[in-house]
Structure 1
C-alpha cells in the first residue's frame, strides 16, 4: 500500500506531462498560424501575377519570338 501511495505522490508532483501538453498546444497554434499566413500570402501573390498578366495582355505583348504571348 505504501508503494502505491509513493507512486501516486510522484505522479502528482511530476509536471513534465503538463508542460509537454502546453508546448504541444503552443506548437499547434504556431503551425496553424503559419499555414494560414502562407495560404494568404500565396493568394495575394497569385492575384498579383494574374493582374500583371492581364495588364501585359492589354498592352499588346508581341507573340513573336521565344514566348507564346499568353500567361
Structure 2
C-alpha cells in the first residue's frame, strides 16, 4: 500500500504528463492551420488555372 501511495504521489508531482499534453495540443493546432492554408491555397490556384485555361480558349 505504501508503494502505491508513493507512485501516486510521484505521478501527481511529475510534470511530464501535462507537458506532453501541451505539445500534443500545439501540434494539433499547427496541423489544423496547415491543412486549412493548403486547402485554401489549392482552391485559389485551381481557380487561377481555370481562369487562364478559359481565357486561352482551352475550355470546351
TM norm structure 1: 0.75
Higher radius of gyration, 1 or 2: 1
Structure number with the bigger relative contact order (C-alpha 8 A, sep ≥ 6) is 1
RMSD after superposition: 1.2
3-state SS of the aligned residue for 2:56?
helix
Aligned residues: 59
Query: 4+ residue stretches of structure 1 with deviation over 3 A?
Result: none
Structure whose residues are more often helix by fraction: 2
Unaligned runs of 5+ in 2: none
Question: Can you give the 5+ residue segments of structure 1 that lack an aligned partner in the other structure?
Answer: 58-69
